[in-house]
Amino acid sequence: MSTKGPDRLLLLTSQDRLAQVDFHASLTINRCHFDRLCQIWARELQTDEFPFRSAIVSPLVARNGILERLFEHRQQCRIIFDSGGFHVQQGRLELSSATRQLREVYKEHDWADRFALPDTPITSRDCPETVKRKLRSNRRQYQVFASNFLEPIRRKLLPVVHGTTSEQIRSSARAARQVASESLGFGGFSTSGPNGGVNSFSTDNLRLLVQFAVYCKKEKLNAHVFGIGGPSAIVVLHYVGIDSFDSAGWIRTAAYGNVYLPYLGAVNITGATESRRFVGKREFAEMRSASQHSCPFCRDHKALVKYWPYRALHNYITVASSIHELQSTPLNQAVENMRRFNPRFANYLSLALCERNRLLEAEANPEIEAADEMLADLADDFQAPKSL
């Protein structure tokens, strides 16, 4: 990725009015946990409003009562039905069985706003032949699964684009257009952690994400990103031009004693895990002050440490408020904040901005675009993966 200098970079991106990203909070949780979160939200904020403006739920693995709860609040909450691709990846669901069940569920619950197509996610451990096999399987879903629905639901279907190279992403996106829906989802992140179950950024998949976002902008499609969305990642997603994303991190990380802070990411406040740096009460207060964050769920440090619902709702508000504040934050200030709080993601943001502006400039010059595509394909064939 090349750049024309930082001033040029900021100018190009500042000229492009980016819409606010829509955060879909994962609510594939126990009904009792769902009710408890809503009750604490209502009590602490003294409001009857439903906490979640947008949500995602996997109906095939959701506990009894969750779909009914979401149906009750469908006027206040935009809802995506997830296909359960993560559970297919983990071997907990068979793709063929999931496909049959989803056909019936989507027809029965046609009130949801979007419906993810069944897919077989690619993991970082897959060999090239496995990747090709999974991509063929996913392309079949674009045709076969979508054919079971009439036009009103087809427009709400959400095909998932996978790939490990530029050409695979482009090919997958073109095939997904056959569904004739209004959205495309990106599922091309690297995976890490136990059983490859954690999505993460790398320089390679960040480039693919930017290409996906620019493609969706060109085709006037809503660009959705699956399964990523901590405070640092949000800044990158915003300036890449993503329309929406979903994440279970806000509640999952809370269960391990971790809490979010704007730009910074997650820190541990309970001492219950070694995967995050532990910070005590005084240091956390200083970090909150430095990041200018305050919410009803983190003002009482003792409650935040003791009760996971407080950590979860704090994380949820941190994500939601970070998205809102980005709309009024000048790009140069956002870049400076990233450099201050999270240098690694500041590098990701710089890479994303460079790639996005390169692609937008190439679109205006077909000869440059053709040359860039050829070079990108050669790079995919011959360069080894890199990560920051």
pTM above 0.85, yes or no: yes
- Same domain as 188, residue 199: yes
Q: Write the Ramachandran bin of 65: left for phi over 0, alpha for psi from -120 to 50, otherwise beta.
A: left
Specify whether the CB–CB gap between 343 and 252 falls below 8 A: no
Split into its structural domains, the chain has a count of 2
What is the share, in percent, of the chain residues with pLDDT greater than 70? Answer: 87
Residue 177: the pLDDT is: 93
Say what the alpha-carbon torsion angle 30, 308, 114, 42 is, to the nearest 10 degrees: 90
The closest of 42, 43, 38 to 25, measured between CA atoms, is 38
198 band by pLDDT with thresholds 50, 70 and 90 = low
Residue 252 belongs to some domain of the structure = no
Residue 385: the pLDDT is: 36
Last residue of a domain, one of 286, 308, 326: 326
Residue 95: the pLDDT is: 87
- Same domain as 319, residue 336: no
Residue 253 belongs to some domain of the structure = no
Residue 89: the pLDDT is: 78
Residue 157 belongs to some domain of the structure = yes
Residue 98 belongs to some domain of the structure = yes
Q: Taking 80 as the threshold, does the pLDDT of residue 278 lie above it? A: yes
- Same domain as 291, residue 189: no
- Same domain as 355, residue 278: no
Is 126 in a helix, a strand, or coil?
coil
pLDDT in tens, 166-180: 999 999 999 999 999
- Same domain as 288, residue 219: no
Q: Which backbone phi and psi does 194 adopt, to 5 degrees?
A: -60, 125
Residue 1 belongs to some domain of the structure = no
Residue 197: the pLDDT is: 53
Residue 139: the pLDDT is: 92
Q: Taking 90 as the threshold, does the pLDDT of residue 266 lie above it? A: yes
How many Å apart are CA 251 and CA 259, to the nearest integer? 9
- Same domain as 279, residue 360: no
363 band by pLDDT with thresholds 50, 70 and 90 = confident
Residue 91 belongs to some domain of the structure = yes
Residue 318 belongs to some domain of the structure = yes
- Same domain as 322, residue 232: no
Q: Taking 70 as the threshold, does the pLDDT of residue 285 lie above it? A: yes
- Same domain as 97, residue 156: yes
> What's the chain's Rg over C-alpha atoms?
21
pLDDT in tens, 119-161: 988 887 889 999 999 999 999 999 999 999 998 999 999 999 9
Last residue of a domain, one of 326, 348, 365: 326
32 band by pLDDT with thresholds 50, 70 and 90 = very high
Q: Taking 50 as the threshold, does the pLDDT of residue 381 lie above it? A: no
- Same domain as 322, residue 333: no
92 band by pLDDT with thresholds 50, 70 and 90 = confident
- The rounded mean pLDDT for the chain is 87
Q: Taking 70 as the threshold, does the pLDDT of residue 386 lie above it? A: no
- Same domain as 198, residue 290: no
Residue range of the domain that includes 187:
6-247+329-382
Residue 212 belongs to some domain of the structure = yes
Specify whether the CB–CB gap between 249 and 230 falls below 8 A: yes
Q: For residue 329, give the DSSP letter.
A: S
Last residue of a domain, one of 296, 311, 326: 326
- Same domain as 97, residue 63: yes
The closest of 130, 150, 129, 149 to 141, measured between CA atoms, is 149
The tokens for 81 are: 């039905």
How many Å apart are CA 10 and CA 26, to the nearest integer? 33
Residue 370: the pLDDT is: 52
pLDDT in tens, 238-252: 999 999 999 999 999
CATH number of the domain that 235 lies in? 3.20.20.70
- Same domain as 239, residue 263: no
